[in-house]
Chains A and B, each alone.
Chain A
Amino acid sequence: MSAVDRWGDNPFFVLDLPVTATRAEVERAGQKWLGMLEVGMSRAAIYTTPLGVRARTPELVRAAMAELRDPERRIGHELWHLEHEPPSTLDAEDDADAEGPEPEPAALRILGWSRP
């Protein structure tokens, strides 16, 4: 699993809960999301993380609930919880960096190095 996936699958993001959530709140949130996913509510299909929007599935919700039931794992996830920064603020500067001189897509064609 990549670093992005590890962080993106953080149970607190999946269940949309603060780190102070009690065990009962975790169970209630999990059941709520499972119910919403079962009836196909579009709002339940995605969740927000500091690295962007990700797809929420019933398997992910169940895994998140299981992770937060284990105190050893829960404390690890708490340390990676970050109140959502809008992804645009994280990405805006990156996009600016990515802008460079435009390519010349016809270069190979002009020299006859591409299929006609």
Chain B
Amino acid sequence: MSALGIEGLVAQLVAFTAALAFAWLLGVANREESRPGFFGLAQWLVLGLVGLLSGAMLLRGELLGAPVLAMTGVLAWPWAFARGWLIPRGHWRAAWWLVRSSSWTWHDDNKGGALVAAAWAALRAGGPSRALAFVEARCERSDCGAAHLLATGLVDDAAARRWIGSLCEFEGVAAPRMARRLAVQWCAAEAATRGAWSEVARFAGDPDADATVAMLAVVARRMLGAAPCPDDAELERAWKHTPDRADWRPLVERARAHRPAEPTATPAVPREAEPDVHRAALLLHARLLAHARPTAAEVAATARAWDRALADARFTDGVRRRAAAVGARTDALAILRARVEADLVEVVRTTGVALGEDPDRVHDTLGRVRSALHQALLDELELVADGLLTRVRARRALPLHEEWREYLALRGAFTSAVEHTGPNLQRLGYAIVNPAICALGVWLWNDRKNRVHANQMFRWLLREAEIAGDAEAVALHRRNVDCGR
């Protein structure tokens, strides 16, 4: 073998080793649980070789080496280039093409990553219709991964929070780390724009929270006065680690100046003792209906006031006498009681008050409101679940993002119902939603080969089965989840 041949072999080995070492270092930094496959390593090997060659060309004074080296850099870090240059300038198609080659950041979901880049660039370009149609058409394909949820959210203003929020709840290695990182950042920023600081604070310990999200979480804890309340030094430390920190300075200053209010007890009954029990109940009822965010204590106080009124002999006798005087033959008190209960159920449902359970199961107004609410929520849950199960059994397929929307709707109805009434509904509700979501997950997994979404459904079903104490479902879904590992 000639000396040139040995030198060439050595150069190739060095380049290969350097590419592998660099890839390994990036992998450590990225803390991803999976690694790109053969395509990613081959890409790095080729790019490493081309980079060395173009460097050598430059050293020999050949100017062609400069554009080749620049192109190698772009192709070696496609996501960084797309995010730093193409997306802010709204070049959605170029961003899409480039991120298709991002096998490291987006792993085996580089199609989803490319779509996120296109959707984000389209957003920055002001939402041109061609770009939106391009993204939407691709989001309807059956081979969508987790990152498509982020892309869908970026082009669907009305439901962005639901789509991207659902990606934040992804567990395991189903979602590329970058997809979840971006979703967490979007959700934290979006909650901050609404002033929902308690939502922002929940991202404090998230493993995918970046420096900006960590800073927003510190600000949120300061705004809320949540223990341990961050002091000025902690705010400054969080701010110093934030990219574009000058833009965040006004918020940090506002947080520094903010003094959380001392918690005060809300009076649950009118301040002045009201001798007329009927009037007292009406006043509380009016206050409850006028309140945008009533508490469970206020609902309970109103219910108790009506119990007092309906048990007051002076009031009930007066109603009966008055009914006779005007010529009414119906039971006015029964009609009043029914309307009070209907109003309270409506208030609880429309405002999302968590009424909870009563361990003593007292048959008073609040107890009857709880029962009515419980039954109405179960009936509605059954209706939605039956619709989904019937469609799945009939094998009427929808685009994947529509399937995910239906899953989220049923899951949301279940969660909301449990929050309204408590753990007792958890067991009954789980028995209703489990067959429908399980059938959908199995169909997606076995026949439609969409394992990312199916795996997330099984994970959710497993978690809820453990809470509901359904041993059979726990065993089944543990097996289902293990299939996806």
Binding site for B on A (CB under 8 A): 2-4, 6-7, 50-52, 71-72, 74-76, 78-80, 82, 85, 87, 90-91, 93-94, 97-98, 100-108, 110-116
A113 CA to B342 CA in the complex, in Å?
43
A94 CA to B305 CA in the complex, in Å?
20
A90 CA to B247 CA in the complex, in Å?
40
Question: Which among B185, B193, B293 has the greatest number of chain A C-beta atoms within 10 A?
Answer: B193
Q: Shortest beta-carbon distance, B328 to chain A, in Å?
A: 4
Contact of B192 with A by CB under 8 A = yes
Whether A110 contacts B244 by the Cβ 8 Å rule is: yes
Q: Which 5 A-B pairs have the closest CB atoms?
A: A103-B195, A101-B223, A50-B286, A107-B189, A107-B192
Contact of B467 with A by CB under 8 A = no
Q: Shortest beta-carbon distance, A15 to chain B, in Å?
A: 16
Chain A residues within an 8 Å CB radius of B327: 71
Whether A113 contacts B186 by the Cβ 8 Å rule is: yes
Partner of B286, one of A90, A103, A113: A90
Whether A3 contacts B343 by the Cβ 8 Å rule is: yes
Q: A90-B287, A115-B124 are in contact. Are A106 and B326 (CB under 8 A)?
A: no
Binding site for A on B (CB under 8 A): 87-88, 120, 123-124, 126-127, 154, 185-186, 188-190, 192-197, 212, 216, 219, 223-224, 244, 247-248, 251, 254, 258, 266, 278-279, 282-283, 286-287, 289-293, 319, 322-323, 326-330, 332, 335-336, 339, 342-343, 346-347, 350
Partner of B291, one of A76, A94, A102, A103: A94
Q: Shortest beta-carbon distance, B164 to chain A, in Å?
A: 10
B188 nearest CB neighbor, chain A only: A107
Whether B347 contacts A110 by the Cβ 8 Å rule is: no
Whether A87 contacts B323 by the Cβ 8 Å rule is: no
Chain B residues within an 8 Å CB radius of A90: 286-287, 290
Chain B residues within an 8 Å CB radius of A94: 290-293
Q: Shortest beta-carbon distance, B138 to chain A, in Å?
A: 20
Q: Shortest beta-carbon distance, B156 to chain A, in Å?
A: 14
Chain A residues within an 8 Å CB radius of B124: 112, 115-116
Whether B289 contacts A51 by the Cβ 8 Å rule is: yes
Whether A72 contacts B328 by the Cβ 8 Å rule is: yes
Q: Shortest beta-carbon distance, B335 to chain A, in Å?
A: 5
Partner of B126, one of A74, A76, A93, A116: A116
Chain A residues within an 8 Å CB radius of B127: 115
Partner of B326, one of A3, A71, A87: A71
Whether B323 contacts A75 by the Cβ 8 Å rule is: yes
Whether A78 contacts B287 by the Cβ 8 Å rule is: no
Q: A52-B290, A90-B290, A103-B195 are in contact. Are A3 and B328 (CB under 8 A)?
A: no
